[in-house]
């Protein structure tokens, strides 16, 4: 399951949707959901992880992973910086 931090820019939401599709996972609009609320949703959907894209200066900057147990418990389990070159190349592609 992929999502974004709250109040994410259009570029960040677009990247989250693209990454979800590439990984054959679903994208969930964050809205006003808390992490606990996302974890409950993930549990109901049978998901073990939530991948959330966080921003810096209105640009995608960090991909964090949250593990969700069957009991509904969750914990932060990792983070990695998003490759800025990948993000820029997505913006420069011509879409039909």
Half-sphere exposure of 52 (CA within 13 A, CB side): 25
Q: Is the distance from CB of 39 to CB of 13 less than 8 angstroms?
A: no
The pair of structure tokens assigned to 51 is 């991948």
Task: Look at residue 93 and tell me whether its pLDDT is greater than 60.
Answer: no
pLDDT digits (tens, 9 = 90+) for 59-76: 999 999 999 998 889 999
> pTM of the full predicted structure?
0.82
Residue 18 sits at the vertex; the CA angle it makes with 73 and 45, to the nearest 5 degrees, is 30
- pLDDT at position 72, please? 83
Task: Look at residue 88 and tell me whether its pLDDT is greater than 50.
Answer: no
CA dihedral of 21, 50, 47, 34, whole degrees rounded to 10: -120
Please provide residue 86's backbone torsions phi and psi, each rounded to the nearest 5 degrees: -65, -45
The class that CATH gives domain 2-91 is: alpha beta
């Amino acid at each position: 399951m992929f999502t974004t931090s709250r109040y994410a820019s259009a570029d960040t939401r677009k990247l989250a949707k693209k990454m979800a599709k590439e990984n054959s996972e679903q994208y969930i609009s964050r809205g006003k959901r808390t992490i606990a609320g996302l974890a409950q949703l993930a549990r109901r959907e049978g998901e073990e992880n939530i991948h959330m894209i966080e921003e810096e200066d209105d640009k995608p900057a960090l991909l964090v992973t949250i593990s969700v147990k069957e009991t509904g418990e969750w914990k932060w389990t990792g983070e990695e910086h998003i490759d800025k070159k990948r993000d820029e190349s997505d913006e420069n592609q011509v879409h039909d």
